[in-house]
Amino acid sequence: MSIEARNVTKRFGSFVAVDDVSLVFPGGELTALLGPSGSGKTSLLRIIAGLERADAGQVLFEGEDATGRDVRQRGVGFVFQHYALFRHMTVFDNIAFGLRVRPRARRPGAPEIRAKVMDLLKLVQLDWLANRYPSELSGGQRQRVALARALAVEPKLLLLDEPFGSLDAKVRLELRRWLRRLHDEIKLTSVFVTHDQEEALEVSDRVVVMNKGHVEQVGSPQEVFDQPKTSFVMNFLGQVNAVKGGYVRPHEFELARSADAPEGSWAEVRHIHMAGAVVKLELVDEAKNVLLVEMSRDRADALAPRVGERLFAWPRRLRSFEAATV
Amino acid sequence: MKRRVLTEPKPVRVALILVSLAFLAVSLVLPLALVFVEAFSKGAAAYAAAIREPMALSALRLTLLTAAIAVPANLVFGLAASWAIAKFDFWGKNALITLIDLPFAVSPVISGMIFILLFGRLGTFGPFLQGHDIKIVFAIPGIVLATVFVTFPFVARELIPVMQASGSEEEEAARVLGASGWQLFWRVTLPNVKWGLLYGVILCNARAMGEFGAVSVVSGHIRGKTNTLPLHVEILYNEYQFQAAFAAASLLAFLALVTLLAKSFIEWQTGRRASAGSVENEA
């Protein structure tokens, strides 16, 4: 199901959380709403779900106006950052909840509910935990139960609010790859909110970068990373060096022992971080600006930089945003 | 796991424990035991007679009736108020929280006086009530009203922190999953607060049955009609019928013991839940 937000605005007192945002989420895609906290991404997600009412603008589901539709009638699945599992119910009862509260005419019988819940538990690989309580599960398990619960009502749209936000780094990585595979399997239109650029770039088909209630850029992960349209996007997605004339990403710097480029500067090597596949260097140029430079291990071995040495640093690629508003 | 941080020498610990036990024995256990000793001082037959006496039975009935009205009334009110306070932001919320505490803040005698001033013969609504032949003060409605007023805060005060702690995410999840307001309340909100609610109801009930001050002012002390158990005890005592007074008092004391037992059972239950909750935090 495709979703559209038209001129959506949301205020909390004098704070404008979402400022006249218009967006289209194509059917079947996994879209990331990426931005720092306070950028309006969660508010926008909650407005699409119907948990929050927009002060102005419309929300359209499949071209149909759903602005006034109650959250119960929208047919969305919602996964909360802190899982929001029902504490006093078992995993099984949590997942069955959405089916059991249906009006009698549309409510499946107990055997059907049972089959459906067990299928979902298999899908999230937790069928052996059906009779446990949420307090007995790990964070990653709880989030998968929350996902199964959201999918039980067969939503036409899946919304996830910082779904990996409260998990530790390793579980986070596993779970987001798992979510990507799951999405490829079920092809459900999905939108997830995150402040983690790596997560957005790795998991989604499309990234919507938000800042201060505005949309800064919409595009594929590669587009927003390689062709940022504003200095905000450039800064938010990955590390960046602000130099005279624009911005340079650390891996787009070239270092040499001779000044063989027109635009560049001499800089002194302060630190070399050798750990990992990528070597990271910190230099200070003549204007006392700190430059972050990344290069491959092979390149670093060939150059063999030393701390205290002066090297000539020049950008292979320089981006400028004259028209940028930030 | 709680680690032992304080390491006082053993004699100090033993002395502290002995002092508090001695104090408890003298000020709490001894009087309570005396109630029962005095009640049975003339034998079990006299005890039974004092309790089966019509005035005592009528007082017991009125006490139970009052509690049977006041407790459900405050249960409904407490649920509504705590729900509103914990889950919504509205104008006048702080005023409501303060008002809930009002009955705790004023002396019960004053609580009783309020109703005399409102519904008494010379009170604000006095002429209207007399004109329509409605009796509130010195009658059962007055006793019920005074009791409801005095026991007003118990349920709400218990529930507000529990509801605030549980937040609204589970309710939101239930709504997205299609639950109606009614289903949401019965299946999500109520199960999450049930122990706090029960605790509040038990305290509310204990106070409703034991209230003396406010009820004494509005009751009028009409024997067999507007006497509750605590008032009945006072009358008997003033008439030097000590054994009968203590026999009636033993009913109230027995109720207090049941309340304490129920209370510790609930604390034990919530304690178990809390330890399950700490597992949750470590996970």
At B30-48, the pLDDT tens digits run 888 888 888 888 888 888 8
Residue A23 three-state SS: strand
pLDDT of residue B195: 84
Examine the domain organization and report whether A121 and A183 are in the same domain. Answer: yes
pLDDT of A239 > 70? The answer is yes
List CB contacts (< 8 A) between B174 and chain A.
Answer: 86, 97, 101
Domain boundary among A203, A232, A261: A232
Q: What is the mean pLDDT of chain B?
A: 84
List CB contacts (< 8 A) between A13 and chain B.
Answer: none
The answer to whether A149 faces chain B, any CB pair under 8 Å, is yes
List CB contacts (< 8 A) between A150 and chain B.
Answer: 176-177
Domain boundary among A205, A232, A259: A232
Best residue in A71, A88, A107 for a mutation probing chain B (most B CBs within 10 Å): A88
What is the CB neighbour count within 10 angstroms for residue A236? Answer: 23
Structural domain count of chain A: 2
Examine the domain organization and report whether A146 and A277 are in the same domain. Answer: no
Supply A15's token pair. 């704070």
Scan for tokens 């289209």, then name that residue: A24
Examine the domain organization and report whether A144 and A264 are in the same domain. Answer: no
What type of residue sits at position A30? Answer: L
List CB contacts (< 8 A) between B187 and chain A.
Answer: 86, 97, 101
Q: What is the CA radius of gyration of chain B?
A: 23
In chain A, the N- to C-terminal Cα span, in Å, equals 34
pLDDT over 90, % of chain A: 50
pLDDT, tens digit, for every residue of B151-196? 989 999 989 988 888 778 899 999 999 998 889 989 998 888 888 8
Residue A261 three-state SS: coil
Distance CA A37, CA A25 (A): 21
Q: Do B170 and A76 touch (CB under 8 A)?
A: no
CB A215 within 8 A of CB A23: yes
CA separation, residue B157 to residues A134, B66, B154 (Å): 28, 21, 5
For residue B176, give the nearest of A71, A133, A138 by CB distance: A71
CB A45 within 8 A of CB A33: yes
Question: Which range is least confidently modeled, A97-101, B63-67, B126-130, B261-265?
Answer: B126-130
**How many Å lie between the alpha carbon of A25 and the closest alpha carbon of chain B?**
20
Q: What is the mean pLDDT of residues B112-136?
A: 81
CB A314 within 8 A of CB A290: no
Q: Is the pTM for the entire model greater than 0.90?
A: no
Examine the domain organization and report whether A278 and A225 are in the same domain. Answer: no
List CB contacts (< 8 A) between A50 and chain B.
Answer: 176
Distance CA B54, CA B274 (A): 48
b (16+ CB within 10 A) / e for A154-166: ebbbbbbbbbbbe
Examine the domain organization and report whether A218 and A247 are in the same domain. Answer: no
Residue A84 backbone class (left: φ over 0; alpha: ψ -120 to 50; beta: rest): left
What type of residue sits at position B272? Answer: R
ipTM: 0.83
The answer to whether A49 faces chain B, any CB pair under 8 Å, is yes
Q: Do A78 and B176 touch (CB under 8 A)?
A: yes
Q: Which residues of B touch A (CB under 8 A)?
A: 166, 169-170, 172-180, 183, 187-188, 191-192, 276-277, 279-280, 283
pLDDT of B3 > 60? The answer is no
User: Can you give the CATH number for the domain in which A212 is found?
Assistant: 3.40.50.300
CA dihedral B231, B232, B234, B236 (to 10 degrees): 160
Examine the domain organization and report whether A246 and A160 are in the same domain. Answer: no
Residue A282 has, within 13 A of its CA and on its CB side, a CA count of 7
Distance CA A76, CA A152 (A): 11
Q: Do A72 and B178 touch (CB under 8 A)?
A: yes
- Domain that includes residue A275, residue range: 239-315
Q: In DSSP terms, which residues pair with A79 in a beta bridge?
A: A160
Distance CA B250, CA B244 (A): 10
Supply A282's token pair. 């910190």
**B170: nearest CA in chain A?**
A84
Examine the domain organization and report whether A29 and A49 are in the same domain. Answer: yes
Inside any domain, residue A34: yes
Domain boundary among A175, A210, A232: A232
